[in-house]
A = this chain, B = another copy of it.
Amino acid sequence: MQDLLFTNEPWTALDCLVERIGPSGVFVVVDDNTRRCVLPLMQQRSRCVADATVISIPPGEEHKTVSTVEEVWAELQSGGATRHSLIVNLGGGLVTDLGGFAAACFKRGMRFVNIPTSLLGAVDAAVGGKTGVNFGGLKNEIGVFREADAVVISTCFFSTLPTGELQSGYAEMLKHGLLKSREATARLLDLQLDASVDPEALLALLRESVEVKRDIVAQDPTEKGIRKALNLGHTAGHAFEALAMKRAEHLPHGHAVASGLIVALVLSHMKEGMDSSLIHSLAAFVDRHYIKPRITCDDYPALIDMMKHDKKNRHAGDLCFTLLRGPGEPLIDRFVSEEDIRAAIDIMRDLLHI
């Protein structure tokens, strides 16, 4: 299993790791944002980053492409990388997904370490072995399952993030809390989630959250069964996200997932008898902290159509959800009817005042 290091001195952890691995060269992949906001501090405090070759990629989903990966490969090649060299991915989910894929394929695989610089990256993309890029208009269509050799997780970079990004990552933590227990969920709902958030308190919650994901992934690395539990909130969430994207409305991934979690909980109550108290406390938290999807009843057919085409469905056309019998008790591959979904979105809109 990969090394997972939780620390607010990531520079020290990285230098120790690199000394242990003993690579024949170190290449740091950043995007223009992390090159500006994070790299200088790392270069100042980490010997191996100071000595490394820096490969910078353009930020934004539109650059998460095979052609950007080819640019990384070309720079590895011209920098003399061998299969014994090491890539350090320093950035958000885009950098770790794309840099991980580049590493997994260069000379049929070199080692890589992820240092996620966003909460979403830390909690979601940096752990679990999913690497990849977009292709032909579809997200993460091309990639491989390949775990980073190590992930160094810190909260010290999150202050460089734009507003709303912290909330976005926190939605995935709420999901992990729901997959773990009622108590874990309660601890998350208790945090003061704003710019004044305590980095050490957040690091402790983050550790608990990442470990939930790691344990699920370890049981099912290639997503044939229980790993689908991690899709909780995402079938509806992706639909909200896609609709907003189509209309050029601002609805970051985690914010869409936060509303998607409410839909999943309402369906869990309706179909699986989950008790409803949690729905109300989660909805109050989401209502307070999150951007909400701007939808009306007229959008239901489009949303349902998108849910039918979720990548994780075995057969396109099914409406298939991850639900909960209760906190910590996920149920995968639950089929629901269009009527159920309409009702659940209605209730979500009531709870979130949409």
Q: Which residues of A contact B (CB under 8 A)?
A: 24, 66, 70, 73-74, 77, 82, 84, 104-109, 130-132, 135-136, 138, 140-146, 222, 311, 314-316
**How far, in angstroms, from A82 to B309 measured CA to CA in the complex?**
11
> Could you say how many copies of this chain the assembly holds?
2
Do B108 and A132 touch (CB < 8 A)?
yes
| A106 / chain B contacts, CB cutoff of 8 Å | 141-142
Which residue in chain B gives the minimum CB-CB distance to A105? B142
Q: Nearest-CB distance from A42 to chain B (Å)?
A: 28
Top 5 closest pairs, chain A to chain B, by CB: A77-B136, A108-B143, A105-B142, A108-B145, A105-B144
Do A314 and B84 touch (CB < 8 A)?
yes
Q: A108-B132, A130-B108 are in contact. Are A73 and B141 (CB under 8 A)?
A: yes
Q: Nearest-CB distance from A314 to chain B (Å)?
A: 7
| A143 / chain B contacts, CB cutoff of 8 Å | 105, 108
| A144 / chain B contacts, CB cutoff of 8 Å | 104-105, 108-109, 144, 146
| A311 / chain B contacts, CB cutoff of 8 Å | 107
Which residue in chain B gives the minimum CB-CB distance to A145? B108
Across the interface, A142 reaches (CB within 8 A) one of B73, B140, B315, namely B73
Do B77 and A66 touch (CB < 8 A)?
no
**How far, in angstroms, from A84 to B140 measured CA to CA in the complex?**
16
A-B contact pairs, 9 of them (CB 8 A): A24-B315, A73-B136, A82-B316, A84-B314, A106-B141, A106-B142, A107-B311, A108-B131, A108-B132
Q: Nearest-CB distance from A325 to chain B (Å)?
A: 27
**How far, in angstroms, from A142 to B142 measured CA to CA in the complex?**
14
| A130 / chain B contacts, CB cutoff of 8 Å | 108
**How far, in angstroms, from A130 to B109 measured CA to CA in the complex?**
11
A107-B311, A144-B146 known; 4 other A-B pairs, CB under 8 Å?
A: A73-B142, A74-B136, A82-B314, A144-B144
Do A141 and B107 touch (CB < 8 A)?
yes
Q: Nearest-CB distance from A141 to chain B (Å)?
A: 6
**How far, in angstroms, from A314 to B311 measured CA to CA in the complex?**
41
| A145 / chain B contacts, CB cutoff of 8 Å | 108-109
**How far, in angstroms, from A145 to B136 measured CA to CA in the complex?**
25
| A74 / chain B contacts, CB cutoff of 8 Å | 136
| A315 / chain B contacts, CB cutoff of 8 Å | 24
| A314 / chain B contacts, CB cutoff of 8 Å | 24, 82, 84
**How far, in angstroms, from A155 to B222 measured CA to CA in the complex?**
35
**How far, in angstroms, from A132 to B109 measured CA to CA in the complex?**
11
| A141 / chain B contacts, CB cutoff of 8 Å | 73, 77, 106-107
| A70 / chain B contacts, CB cutoff of 8 Å | 66, 135
**How far, in angstroms, from A126 to B131 measured CA to CA in the complex?**
25
Among A84, A143, A316, find the residue whose CB has the most chain B CB atoms closer than 10 A.
Answer: A143
